Copies of this chain bind each other. A is one copy, B any other.
Amino acid sequence: MSTSRSQERLQESLSLVTTLLEKQRVIETLTHKQESKNKELVESLVHRQNLALLQRKLRDLHPADLAHIIEVLPQADRLVVWAELEPYRAAQVLLEASRSVGDSLVEATERRRLVEVLGQLDPDELAYVRESIDPDIVAEVYHSLDAREQSLFRSTVAYPEESVGRLMSPELVWVRDTWDMGGALEEVRRRAELPPRTETLFVVDARHVLRGALSLKDLLLRPPGASVSAVMSTDVVSFTPQDHASDAAKAFERYDLIAAPVVDERGKLVGRLTVDVVMDFLQRQAQSEALRRAGLSGEEDYFAPAWTSAKNRWLWLFVNLLTAFMASRVIGLFESTIQDLVALAALMPIVASVGGNTGNQTVALMIRGLALDRITRANTRHLLRKELFVSLMNGAVWGTVVGLVAAVLYGSVPLGLVMAAAILLNLVVAAMVGCAVPLVLHRLGRDPAQGASVLLTFSTDSMGFFIFLGLARAFLV
């Protein structure tokens, strides 16, 4: 048995695969260089032996581990491994790999093989990967499905992005409410396999409307004559295909669910949502949020060509340049003041920077509070008041400290006073903008993470320069 050390095992697999690929490259390089007659024989023997080793290793790996190894290999090595996979394993890797890496694999695969690989997927899985693939090829695979599978594919695709309908699986076991335990047990026996993560069976009535859930444990322990409806639990958390996946994820976390039924608007059982899919969704969401807040438009493949990566970062770079230019124009308004007192040029970035940083703290707290539903209409005002207090307090404390340092450094008490006042005021601006931006984006139905930092930094930069240089012009020069 494999007593985990699962991380180590994965590391070992990775280095073995890397070594084999390395050998492969050496062999190929040698082949190019050698000119002797018998090279072909030798080469092909070593080559084949090595390849066989590689193939055996790849066959033993869990699809998730395979996907991981493919993710961390440079593009050339990736394609060698990818080419060695049988269609079914290749299809599993496509499901497990991140979208950007999946895309790079799809792009490098010729049509015939791609159709063969995609043909291995269930209809809901095909719907999941569909967006990365030439519609023409999807259509070809679609036509090879039977009528039931085709309709399943169509209905999955019809649900909105990030909905429960997209994530649910049609694989489930149901029993009738009128049956007894014996009947339910027979149904389980009739199916050679239970789908994974089946802790409970769903109970439906004659119209296939969900009525409850029957745990495998009860099926084991109750007498065969006991009726399903008497034993089943009726307090079942269920979802509809239209529910947003992130709401479902919150319910999974809150109620510690393993699998939950999905029902249509008439209460009919249409699918099942399982915790592994929900966990994947949550991880993808957390990652993409972290990247979006740093101003990356999407997930980036670490081995994508530099050109692709450069473009992935342009939108934000452009917005940043635009706002930086605007803040720069604010400084431009005060050029004569700076000319009179050049120390201002050195001190003004401090005011802007402190504002930006505290504002980003507020933004991070607001985004998290909104994501966890901790911020409600009822408590928003309370929160705003509190953030205002915090900024006044921090402004008073740190404004005084900075003011003192500036006064000593430049030997000017008035300069110190202006600095202290500017920091206090800019912290208040930062707190209010830091609260307002995520709240307004959220009320408008937008993602509060996207763009909040740009808007905030723009405000704290421009206002920081304006307040500081404005006070300086009024009181110092």
Contact = CB atoms under 8 A, between A and B. Distances in A.
Interface of A: 1-4, 6-7, 10, 14, 18, 62, 64-65, 68, 71-74, 185, 188-189, 194, 196-199, 210-212, 216-217, 219-221, 234-240, 243, 247, 250-256, 258, 260, 263, 267, 275-276, 279-280, 282-283, 286-287, 289-291, 293-296, 300, 302-303, 306-307, 309-310, 313-314, 316-318, 320-321, 324-325, 327-329, 331-332, 335-336, 338-339, 342-350, 352-354, 357-358, 360-361, 363-365, 367-369, 372-376, 378-379, 382-383, 386, 389-390, 393-394, 397-398, 401-402, 405, 457, 461, 465
A178 to B, nearest CB: 17
Given A3-B210, A327-B349, A328-B349, A361 B295 contact: yes
A7 B368 contact: no
Interface residues of A, dominant DSSP: helix
Nearest to A410: B332
A358 B313 CA distance: 8
Q: How many copies does the complex hold?
A: 2
A18 B260 CA distance: 30
19 contacts: A1-B236, A6-B255, A7-B247, A64-B255, A216-B216, A253-B280, A258-B275, A279-B282, A286-B286, A290-B367, A294-B361, A294-B364, A302-B379, A303-B386, A309-B390, A313-B358, A317-B354, A327-B349, A353-B457
Contacts of A7: 247, 250-251, 373
A385 to B, nearest CB: 9
Given A198-B217, A237-B2, A350-B324, A68 B373 contact: yes
Given A189-B221, A255-B62, A321 B338 contact: no
B276 A256 contact: yes
Contacts of A211: 1
B296 A361 contact: yes
A368 to B, nearest CB: 6
A346 B307 CA distance: 31
A21 to B, nearest CB: 11
Contact of A234 (B1, B221, B401): B1
Given A317-B357, A328-B346, A349-B461, 20 more contacts: A3-B210, A7-B250, A7-B251, A7-B373, A68-B254, A72-B374, A72-B376, A74-B382, A198-B217, A275-B275, A275-B279, A294-B361, A300-B365, A302-B374, A306-B389, A317-B358, A321-B350, A327-B350, A331-B346, A353-B457
Given A251-B4, A364-B294, A338 B347 contact: no
A302 B364 contact: no
A71 to B, nearest CB: 6
Contacts of A293: 290, 364
B393 A307 contact: yes
Given A197-B199, A256-B276, A302-B375, A1 B349 contact: no
Given A313-B390, A321-B350, A346-B328, A254 B72 contact: no
